[in-house]
Amino acid sequence: MAGTNSERELLTEGPAIILAFPQLGENIGMVARAMANFGLSELRLVSPRDGWPSEKARSAASRADHVIDGAKLYETLEEALADLNFVYATTARDRDGFKPVRSPIVAARELRHRFKEGEKVGIIFGRERTGLTNAEVALADEIVTFPVNPAFASLNLAQAVLLMSYEWLKTGMTSEDETSFQASQQRPATKEQLHGLCEHLEEALDARNYFRSADKKPKLVENLRAVLTRPSFTESEIQVLRGVISSLDRFTRENPRGSAAPPGHSRKEQGGGDKD
């Protein structure tokens, strides 16, 4: 979805995202984009296979340049974690060991709590093909794993980062119902406007002999009004519908709007001289 807006606040806080030995520059770029989507900005790269900086990464980041430009390069995972107080390691595989295993939402809440307390926190993501080794997982405080299909548990790197970034952002919301924007308020139509719409449509249909049987007309009108009065129309919606009816009433397929005036109709009747 397109939604980049340079006039709105850019969120740039939260845990460091550490990519341990990533392979493709494109994957790093997609990670940067996922981070920017959910307000994360600190990217740490441990010996990326294809080198750094990477134009492929920048291109795949889709304008998340602040993440790409701020990325820090490290030779070892130990160096990338040295200044952090608390770290999660992500994995989809069962591991031997004694580290607690958390779900993404529990992990995100713990990260948020520690971040608010002033701690430096991070999340480690492993290689695209093989993930993290047991020795690398051992460098973390706890493990976070995703509730995925057990028979198809493989996530690509950007997907995994996006899921954790999303859970992180959720923990900072005032409620689960919060959204980034709201639909603009519309004034509800008055009953007078609604009845005017019904009368407008009935007159247009009557002129075309829609109500061919006089004894059935009252029931047809009743059904028509029942359909039109069921929704809660707004004023603008009534205007749109009446504009449609007026257009159908004035113009035909043979003489559409903008064509020469049909027999018996003036230019004013066609559309009041409006520009097409």
242-262 confidence digits (pLDDT tens): 888 888 888 777 777 776 655
Q: Who contacts 222 (Cβ-Cβ below 8 Å, separation ≥6)?
A: none
Backbone angles phi, psi at 206, to 5 degrees: -60, -40
Residue 153 in contact with residue 46, Cβ under 8 Å? no
* Burial class, 197, CB count within 10 angstroms (exposed 0-12 / middle 13-18 / buried 19+): buried
Q: Which amino acid is at 32?
A: A
Average pLDDT over residues 86-103: 86
Name the percent of the chain lying above pLDDT 90. Answer: 49
Domain at 14-170, CATH class? alpha beta
Compute the distance between CA of residue 67 and CA of residue 32 in angstroms, rounded to an integer.
6
Name the percent of the chain lying above pLDDT 70. Answer: 85
Q: Give the pTM.
A: 0.67
Q: Read off the pLDDT of residues 170-214 as tens digits, 9 standing for 90 and up.
A: 998 877 676 666 677 778 888 888 888 888 988 888 888 888 788
**Residue 9 binned pLDDT confidence (cut-offs 50, 70, 90):** low
Residue 60: is its pLDDT beyond 70?
yes
Residue 149 in contact with residue 93, Cβ under 8 Å? no
Compute the distance between CA of residue 228 and CA of residue 222 in angstroms, rounded to an integer.
10
Q: What is the pLDDT of residue 137?
A: 94
93 or 58, which is more confident: 58
Q: Which amino acid is at 131?
A: G
183 or 23, which is more confident: 23
Order of all β-strands in the sheet with 101-102: 72-74, 43-46, 16-20, 121-125, 86-90, 142-144, 101-102
Average pLDDT over residues 157-182: 84
Q: What is the pLDDT of residue 120?
A: 96
- In the chain, domain spans: 14-170, 189-248
Q: Read off the pLDDT of residues 120-134 as tens digits, 9 standing for 90 and up.
A: 999 999 998 889 999
Place of tokens 């028979």: 151
**pLDDT, mean over the chain:** 85
Kindly state the DSSP code that residue 189 receives in the 8-state scheme.
Answer: P
Joined together, the tokens standing for residue 236 give: 């603008």
Compute the distance between CA of residue 116 and CA of residue 120 in angstroms, rounded to an integer.
10
Joined together, the tokens standing for residue 269 give: 């009747």
With CA atoms as reference, report the closest residue to 42 among 132, 104, 105, 111: 111
Q: How far is CA 144 from CA 13, 27, 91, 204, in A?
A: 20, 21, 7, 64
Q: What is the pLDDT of residue 254?
A: 77
